[in-house]
Amino acid sequence: MASKLGDNLKQFRMLKGFSLRDVENKIGISNAYLSQLERGNAINPSPRKLELLGKLYKVSYSELLRLAGYLTDEIGINSETVIASTVAEKPMSSLTMAIQNTDLTESEESLVAQYIAFLRTQRK
């Protein structure tokens, strides 16, 4: 679970165009800890830190809890509930809808996130 959370946190950060230091300066989570989270080396990440990251990255807190292994289908949370809560929190952009309606592999999703991060670096 930790590597899935870590991979997603890194992609969310990159999509926002933030460096590890940017995140540290914005919400007070040390860049060393965030780096550990992204590499999957932090065990049982603090739900409070996940909440702060979710707010900064504009990602559903419940989705981050699910990725961290705190919420599972066994306790009554399923993917439809998470999707519904995510949709209720913020309207989906056309890009989000387009990506969700594709059959991308995890590797392809990662490449899309990297490309978006690259595009942001090209802004003047």
Domains, the chain, with CATH or none: 2-121 (1.10.260.40)
pLDDT of residue 15: 87
User: CA 93, 69, 3 angle in degrees (round to 5)?
Assistant: 75
Distance CA 117, CA 32 (A): 21
pLDDT along the chain (124 residues), means of 10: 80 91 96 94 90 92 88 55 47 60 75 82 78
Percent of the chain with pLDDT over 90: 32
Would you state the pLDDT for residue 86?
45
Query: pLDDT by residue (tens digit) across 43-53?
Result: 889 999 999 99
